[in-house]
Structure 1
């Protein structure tokens, strides 16, 4: 499909602020409604990464409508249903320029659902501003009766609250499993890491359960690693790390949680940070850098590590250790370890920075040893009766 509309990063000449927009590549003009929608994301405090992803998804929708000769404001039921199928059936562009073509890649149903969610949100935004008719927005959801409700759910008189609105254009999929790493896998991965910076980064993720965006957004002033931080105006005892949401990080890293928190750290982690400081001090360009994690081994030296830098590092480590290794797996590992050790769920929720206790459900991983132990315990109880 020819890309007429594209999501682009635009920098204001007046303020230097970077924003994401949707541009018509034929005229280099802005697609007004799409730009307004992306601006609404910024107003809601969404991260620049969300803005970037949504700009591409809105552009894809506009291009699909052009290809199918549809008015994007009134695509109709068949147009939206066709888009849903087109997303999973159309091969993605090849990532390589090899002579031998790679096997065709397709979007997963989960990815298609995420894209349809953005399309629906964009159309609802247009409906709220009078650009999209009510006949279009009415197609985006349909009533559904909840057969099962979560604990504490108030169904209301005669169960009237059991009827909810659900997305009309959404594939039914099985939720993917969330992987975690064993303590031995984590120790081995850290041991195979040759750089002090990377060892500290891995250990910090494993010890604190921080998100990668939170780690990359840390500044030196957030690292309170002395027994007492009263000298810098902090009354929290013991070594700890402050996690703060900032929108002006040079690497565009963003803490997902809007609420600041602190996470205690261990003496071993403090020692790894000290090793990293020795390594960092040997790079003069990093001396004045405010961010904790910076480039030390290739230019531009001293610049804050970015998401692509970190992804490349984890891909390299995964090849070295022979198993999957991703930042979020270390977060799940930390949460799973705390829960297995009997840490109260409210404490784990606070450490992870979750606003809702329902977010904790994905973090309780059960292994084969635990399931067998549970069954054997029930069997042993039979002998007591």
Structure 2
């Protein structure tokens, strides 16, 4: 991470290196880098010492995140104004808080700066399985002090007709299989792109593959892939799939097998 003079920001670079050492997902590292750079740029522009921001200065940044006019997208003659939503502002300030807390552990930021980021909150309603303690001492937790109130969004999903429309837009069996796989399993795109053939257990009985799980399914594991696809979760899991997905995978394998034969034609060079 560099400034306008291309000088490295030592503390920010060290924090990003710590994220890599902690095996955080690549997309997470890239997102955090952009958010921390935004915080440092804001501090430079507004003459704020990034190691000692006051509560008022951090709250002013929160308001700025929501009120700032973002650059237009595309080249439309009369683009509509764009602003960050409150959920995005909360996510940015959450990353800033994590960066300041980590920097405090390194001795670069006073602990008083970190302590002002949170406040006590009493849980009147506890989630299932929560242990409040014998005298309710665990009902008081710490919550972020600087955040916007946002409504919890509902779940959104594509209808069967919309899924068919998306599948009909594909031009290769590979893409149609990927769309179907994501729709059936609900896995992340990085998890789908990171699957290997050894993870596809599409037989009724996978005992011959050394797997005791019955029925067609896929195994999702975090590992390094040549295409840089990366599963965000550290925990491996398996997900059942439908027979239609298995058929689409067979079509994809057939399409894949004929590619070398086509490319071996002299005209392909």
TM-score normalised to the size of structure 2?
A: 0.89
Shift of 1:67: 0.5
Task: Provide structure 1 residue ranges, at least 5 long, that are not aligned to the other structure.
Answer: 1-21, 288-385
Q: In 2, distance between residues paired with 1:35 and 1:92?
A: 26
Q: Which residue of 1 aligns with 2:53?
A: 75
- What is the TM-score normalised by the length of structure 1? 0.63
1:320-364 per-position Cα deviation (integer Å, ceiling 9, x unaligned): xxxxxxxxxxxxxxxxxxxxxxxxxxxxxxxxxxxxxxxxxxxxx
Cα deviation, residue 285, structure 1 = 10
**2:2 aligns to what?**
23
Aligned to 1:141: 118
1:194 Cα deviation from its structure 2 partner: 4.0
Matches within 5 A, 1:180-329: 180-191=157-168, 193-246=170-223, 248-284=224-260
Task: Give 2:88's aligned residue.
Answer: 111
Distance, in Å, in 2 between the alignment partners of 1:29 and 1:285 is 52
1:33 aligns with 2:2: no
Q: Deviations over 1:121-155 (max 9, x none)?
A: 00001111100012211211111122222233332
Distance 1:156 1:267, change over 3 A: closer
Cα distance in 2 between the residues matched to 1:235 and 1:286: 38
C-alpha RMSD over aligned residues: 2.3
For residues 184 and 95 of structure 2, the distance between their equivalents in structure 1, rounded to whole angstroms, comes to: 35
CA 1:285–1:136 in structure 2 vs 1: closer, same or farther (change >3 Å)?
A: farther
In the TM superposition, residue 42 of structure 1 has moved relative to its aligned partner by 1.7
1:378 corresponds in structure 2 to: none
Whole-angstrom distance in 2 between the partners of 1:63 and 1:258: 33
Shift, 1:196, TM fit: 1.6
How many residues align structurally?
A: 263
Question: Residue 24 of structure 1 aligns to a residue in which SS?
Answer: coil
Dislocated runs of 4+, deviation >6 Å: none
* Distance change >3 Å, CA 189–CA 169, structure 1 → 2: same
Instruction: For residue 109 of structure 1, report the CA deviation from its aligned partner.
Output: 0.3
**Unaligned stretches of 5+ in structure 2?**
264-269
Corresponding residue number in structure 1 for 2:102? 125
Map of 1:373 onto structure 2: none
Question: For 2:247 and 2:233, how far apart are their aligned partners in 1?
Answer: 28
Aligned with 2:149 (options 160, 163, 172): 172
Q: Does 1:152 align with 2:115?
A: no
Q: In 2, Cα distance between the equivalents of 1:192 and 1:118?
A: 38
How far did residue 29 of structure 1 move? Answer: 2.9
